[in-house]
Amino acid sequence: MTGPLILASESPRRKELLTQAGITFTVKSAHAPEIKEGLPDEVTVHNAVAKAKAVWELHPGRAVLGADTVVYVDGRVFGKPKDAGEARRMLEQLNGRWHQVYTGVALIADDGTVRTACAVTDVHFVEMTAEEIEAYIATGEPYDKAGAYAVQGRAGYYIDRIEGSYSNVIGLPLATVRGLLGNINNH
């Protein structure tokens, strides 16, 4: 291998999680078309592979990690909201209920071998008032987060139960990444 792992994402949350895990990596922005319709595991894995491939093609011989996270409730896949109205609709849908967070992860090894996995975590929101939803949207936090919330941010105040990987809800399931990395990059 000719260098450290490349993270095909500029997500500050993914960078922070990999750093906390002690993984040596560099970051390259991934520009790849994403699908938004379909089953959440298929959507996230497809998008993770597309991101990783877009970066790997520019840096062959390097291991590349791609990821994609969505929220799933009532048969609908929620990505990042486009505006306050969409954020409101998402939060109203999640309000007082369970939903699932899916993160597809793709690792392209330095030899071009592709390995994928998908993690799922169940998350429960407490009942939020309309005023609480509006105040949360006004923070600006929902806009670059799947499902319009950040469990590690102010939305953590409204989440009372999580079943599964906490790091998955943030955007990168570390135990899943560990399993994919194996001996790649000396991990």
Contacts of range 129-133, beta carbons closer than 8 Å, 24 or more positions apart: 132/158, 133/88, 133/91, 133/92, 133/95
Q: How many CB atoms lie within 10 A of CB 55?
A: 23
pLDDT score at 7: 97
- Alpha-carbon distance of 52 to 159, in angstroms, equals 31
- Is residue 185 predicted with pLDDT exceeding 70? no
So what's the pLDDT on residue 2? Answer: 61
- What's the whole-number average pLDDT of the chain? 94
**pLDDT score recorded for residue 183:** 60
Mean pLDDT across 124-144: 97
For residue 1, pLDDT beyond 60: no
Residue 19: give the domain boundaries. Answer: 5-186
- Residue of 72, 75, 52 lying closest to 62 (CA atoms): 52
DSSP string, 139-182: TTGGGGSGGG--TTTGGGGGEEEEES-HHHHHT--HHHHHHHHT
Task: Say if residue 187's pLDDT is above 60.
Answer: no
Whether 117 and 67 have beta carbons less than 8 Å apart is answered as: no
Q: Any idea what the CATH number is for the domain that residue 15 is in? A: 3.90.950.10
Structural tokens at position 4 = 């450290």
Give the pLDDT of residue 184: 62
Residues designated catalytic:
68
- Looking at residue 97, its pLDDT comes to 97
Q: Is the pLDDT of residue 3 over 90?
A: no
Count the domains in the chain: 1
